[in-house]
Structure 1
């Protein structure tokens, strides 16, 4: 099994990486950092923030005198809008990667929408949403940044740009862990310093880059890819395509 997996990787090219997890887990920080790291290592990458518009809807609700997005458009309306907006964002990001040949570093992906539906009591919409999102290929590597919901809540409150209830964060954390895709995720302990989290992510990807082809059409890299910070290592089984 390991031999055939490695053979597939040797002929594959890294195209899409997704970072997922609850709000406050550090997805945006790590996605930005990863796009810069890959580009510096010779694998041009672009950061894509595939937001579902909850923050924007919440701000619009406040301006209109409503407590939150749900108070503005109702639960079902919010879930539908969020699903559509995230679908459009992902589609544009994938199209951009296809046209430019750059690695797409996704800050949120389809799994985030499935988890959001479950956490907000909209599981009845999940089958329909999954049908719409089936158009998108599964990323070659999906990193789940895992952090205790209480710590995520403290981080969100410290940044002061938005707000999430501890109850929602707890429900979202459980939702990610119960998704059928969960066994395919590379779970990263995101409670540590950002530098340590980035080093572990880079270590997983260094093995992939050492075996794959470069985005500019180079042949297979024969030596281990060296990424900033000296990270290197083999990619775990669940990270191979």
Structure 2
């Protein structure tokens, strides 16, 4: 009798960048393009990609006095990520799907590590516990000057969460942290100039993704 073979492991694509860089827009556009190409794909995000995560997201992005301390914050992100990896990301990869995620572990390295100045050792310990070593196959870092990102956030008119209210110095540290990660992991992280039209940014991203699919779509 013929044996049933498991589908090949899917691909894990993450999007990173400071708030206002256009990540969410580009995630949606990439997912739509993959769907049009009949590629099995799921769209998820952090924090809040699971029922537990949606509750934790409210706590993490709260601007009130009940917002968590920095140490508690990283543990809450770890809890959100652990649930997300175990119940959403790994099952989808095992099923052979492409997972497109709006933020993953690099956000913790940039925001809590560079932005909040937590030690790299503590950051990596929390990530290892949450991810059990899972890293994206490909990460797009949408890079944008901080002042332009802030202008976009103001134009958006949405209520500021704690990170958006942290100030320019915080965001400069976060952006620098992301760019340092891109230098550290050049084969995984592709820096995309986000100071362009959404169409131009999407085209740059699609060219990279389509060339890496099996078989390539380009």
Scaled by the length of structure 1, what TM-score is found?
0.72
Query: What is the aligned partner in structure 2 of residue 146 from structure 1?
Result: 143
**CA spacing shift, 1:58–1:98, aligned 2, 3 Å:** closer
Task: Encode CA deviations 1:120-149: one digit per residue, 9 max, x unaligned.
Answer: 122252132233245143222111111111
Query: What is the aligned partner in structure 2 of residue 202 from structure 1?
Result: 206
Aligned residues: 196
Query: What is the aligned partner in structure 1 of residue 173 from structure 2?
Result: 171
Query: What is the aligned partner in structure 1 of residue 106 from structure 2?
Result: 111
Query: What is the aligned partner in structure 2 of residue 97 from structure 1?
Result: 92
The Cα of 1:173 is off from its aligned counterpart by 0.3
| Candidates 27, 31, 51, aligned match of 1:31 | 27
Unaligned runs of 5+ in 1: 1-11, 213-220, 226-231, 233-241
The Cα of 1:162 is off from its aligned counterpart by 3.8
- Alignment RMSD (CA, Å): 2.5
The Cα of 1:49 is off from its aligned counterpart by 0.9
Tell me which moved more, 14-23 or 187-196. 14-23
Query: What is the aligned partner in structure 2 of residue 183 from structure 1?
Result: 186
**CA spacing shift, 1:61–1:202, aligned 2, 3 Å:** closer
Q: Distance in 1 between matches of 2:20 and 2:75?
A: 23
Query: What is the aligned partner in structure 1 of residue 5 from structure 2?
Result: none
SS in 2 for 1:72: coil
1:41 partnered with 2:45:
no
Matches within 5 A, 1:1-150: 14-51=10-47, 56-57=58-59, 60-62=62-64, 66=65, 72-98=67-93, 100-118=95-113, 119-123=115-119, 125-133=122-130, 135-150=132-147
The Cα of 1:113 is off from its aligned counterpart by 1.2
Q: Distance in 1 between matches of 2:174 and 2:61?
A: 21
Matches within 5 A, 1:218-229: 221=215, 225=217
SS in 2 for 1:186: strand
Q: Distance in 2 between matches of 1:197 and 1:191?
A: 8
The Cα of 1:154 is off from its aligned counterpart by 1.2
**CA spacing shift, 1:29–1:174, aligned 2, 3 Å:** same
Larger Rg: 1
The Cα of 1:187 is off from its aligned counterpart by 0.8
